[in-house]
Every structure is written in C-alpha cells, then in structure tokens.
Structure 1
Amino acid sequence: MTGLRERQKADRNRRILEAASTLFGQMGYEAARIDTIAEVAEVSVGTLYNYFENKADLLLAIVSMEVEEVLAQGEVVVARPPETAIQAMSVLIRTYYDHSLVYLTKAMWRSAMAMTIQQPEAPFSRRYRELDAALAAQVCRLIATLQTRGDVRQGIGATALGEMAFNDLNALFTEFILDEDQPLAQLRARLDAHLSAFTTLIAT
C-alpha cells in the first residue's frame, strides 16, 4: 500500500510540473495562474499547494528536474569519455545545451535567473546556485578523468580548468537565453569555437 501511495504521489507531482511547464511556456510565468495549473494537472488547488507553496516553487522544481536529468546524462559521459579532450568536452556541454529547452522556454530561464539576482538569499536562489555548482563539479570531474587518461596536461588544476570552462559555457548559455532569436545551432557553433581554443591550450 505504501508503494502505491508513493507512486500516486509521484504521478501527481509529475502532472503538476508538466502542467506548470506547459502553461509557463504558453502564457508566461507571470500570467499563468495556480488554479489553471491545477486544472490542467487534474488536481485540486489544495492538492497543488500540498506539493508547492507558490509559482516560484513550481519554477524551481522545473529547473531542478531539468538539471537533474542533465546531470544523470552527463555522468555517462564522465564515466566513459569520447576519445579526445575536445570530443569529450563537446559531448558533455552539448548534453547540457540540447536538454535546456525541454521543460523550460528562454522566457522561463530568464524568470529564474532574474529571481536569483533579485533575491539572492531566498531558498530559490540558493537551490539554483547549488544546481549550477553541481554542473560545474561535473565538468571538473570530466577534466580530471581526461588528465588521468593522459588527454589533458598534468600540472594544471582540474578544478580551476573545470570552473573556467563552466563559467564560459554558462556565459554563452546566458547570452543565448537573453537573445530570443538566437537558434540553438548558433550556440553550438560558438561552443565549438570556444572549445577548440580551450582544448588546444590544455590538451597533451
């Protein structure tokens, strides 16, 4: 019985998040209403509030779902990196980029980023920074793996290199999110150019 209740709870949670993701994307974060989200998710408003306190909680949960799925995919790359440093870095970061608009639109990302700037000490902002840190740590682990394999020069701190790479990919992603007309293909092309320069400096 406990297992059934947990599955039902997980199903309701997923339905709520999918409804919120759809409505935030269609109507905009500010315009979407909690009662409409509950209706689309086929739950009562009271049930929705049992799971999430407000729309900010919903948006954070969607961002978390997005990043957690990306991290799981990234672990496969870190465990078995492609043959060269540039290929490994490209596959990992493209995994981040290619998944970035599955649950969120550019406008939703902008809303999330704005909240972290406007309320830096809020729980939303702290969790957002934790997710960013987890992604940065994954990039650092990939570089450490490539060093161990002999594809990246020894004597350079893997953590420093990983943080530099993450900060750059994050800056490119932010520019992509801020420019509604920039296609994903352009983001990928800019990434390729940056990684070519970066890996030329660090590869053996």
Structure 2
Amino acid sequence: MAGLREKQKADRRRRILQAAGELFRSAGYDHARIEDIAERAGVSVGTFYNYFGNKGDILLETVSMEVEEVLEAGNALVAEPPGAVPEAILALILSYYEHSLTYLSKEMWRTAMAVSIRAPETPFGQHYTALDRRLSTQVCAMIAGLQARGLVRAELDPQAVGELLFNNLNMMFIEFTKDEAMSMAALTAAVERQVRPLAAMISAPPAG
C-alpha cells in the first residue's frame, strides 16, 4: 500500500508540473492562475498546496529538472570528450542549449532569472545560483579533462578557462531568452563563432 501511495503522489506531482508548464507557455507565467493549474492537473487547489507553496516553487522545480538532465548528459561528454578541443567544448555547450527549451519557454527563463537576481538570498535565488555553479563546474571539468589528455595547454588554469567559457555561454543564453525572435540556430551559430578561436588558442600544439 505504501508503494501505491508513493506512486500516486508522484503521479499527482508530475501532473501538476506538466499542467503548470503548459499554462505558463500558453498564458504566460504571470497570468497562469493556481486554480487553473489545479483544474488542468485534475486535482483540487488544496491538493496543489500539498505539493507546492506557490507558482515560484513550480518554476524552480522545473528549472532544477532541466539542469539535472543537462548535467547528466554533460557527464558523459566530460568522461568521453568527442573529438578535439573545439568539438568537445561545443558539444557540451550545445547540449545545454538544445535541451534548454524542453521544459521552459523563454519567458519562463526570464522570470526565473529575474527572481534570482531580485531576491538572491531567498531559497529560490540560492538554489538557482547553485545550479549555475554546478554547470560552471562541469565546464571546468571538461577543460581539466582535455588538459589531462594533453589537448589543452599545460600552463593554463582549467578553472579560469572553464569559468570564462561558462560566463560567455550564460550571457549568450540570456541574450537568447531576451529576444523572442532569435532562433536556436542563430544562438548556436553565434556561440560557435566565438568558441572556435578561443579553443584554438588554448589547444596544445601538436606533438613533435
């Protein structure tokens, strides 16, 4: 019975998250009402509050779900980098971008970013910042791994290089979310244009 109850709870939580995501996309985050989310999910408003305190809690969980999945995919790329330095770095960055709109719209990303900046000391702001740091750490791990394979110049600080790359990909993603007309193809093309020369500069010279 305990297993069945847990399964039912997980199903209700999934339905609420899915319903909220659909409404955030169609009506906009600010205009989506908790009553409408509950109705679409097939639960009462009281049940909604058993799982989430407000819309912000749903948004944060959705962001967390997004980042956890890209981190998991990124771990495989860090462990087995595809190709030389430019290809490996771009594979990691583009894996972040390609998954970024799976659960969130551009408007949802803008809202999450705004909340984290406006209220950095809140649980939402702190958790959002922690997720960003984990992504930055993964980019640094990619550079360190490439350096350990002799592909990145030995004299370079892999953390500094990784942070530089992450800061750029993060800023470019912010620009992407600010511009509703900007396509994913335009974003990836712009970042590839920026990353390739940097990757060439940090690549170790050929042996011999």
TM interval, short-chain normalised: over 0.9
CA positional deviation for 1:4? 2.5
Instruction: After superposition, give the CA deviation of every residue in 1:72-122 in whole Å (9 maximum; x if it has no partner).
Output: 111111111102111111111111001111111111111111111211211
Matched with 2:192 is 192
Matched with 1:116 is 116
Q: Does 1:81 align with 2:81?
A: yes
Structure 1: state its 5+ residue gaps. none
Q: Does 1:66 align with 2:70?
A: no
CA positional deviation for 1:2? 2.8
Q: Which amino acid aligns with 1:146?
A: L
Matched with 2:13 is 13
CA positional deviation for 1:7? 2.1
Matched with 1:26 is 26
Change (3 A) 1:46 1:194: same
Matches within 5 A, 1:40-189: 40-189=40-189
CA positional deviation for 1:65? 0.8
CA positional deviation for 1:23? 0.4
Inter-partner Cα distance in structure 2 for 1:81 and 1:5: 42
CA positional deviation for 1:26? 0.5
Identical-residue share of aligned pairs (%): 53
Instruction: After superposition, give the CA deviation of every residue in 1:147-182 in whole Å (9 maximum; x if it has no partner).
Output: 111111112111111111000000110000111111
Inter-partner Cα distance in structure 1 for 2:2 and 2:161: 46
Inter-partner Cα distance in structure 1 for 2:52 and 2:202: 45
Structure 2: state its 5+ residue gaps. none
Inter-partner Cα distance in structure 1 for 2:152 and 2:6: 45
Return structure 1 stretches of 4+ with deviation > 6 angstroms.
none
Q: Which amino acid aligns with 1:147?
A: Q
RMSD across aligned positions (CA)? 0.9
Alignment: residue pair count: 204
Inter-partner Cα distance in structure 1 for 2:92 and 2:35: 38
CA positional deviation for 1:183? 0.6
Inter-partner Cα distance in structure 1 for 2:31 and 2:44: 19
Matched with 1:202 is 202
Inter-partner Cα distance in structure 2 for 1:8 and 1:197: 52
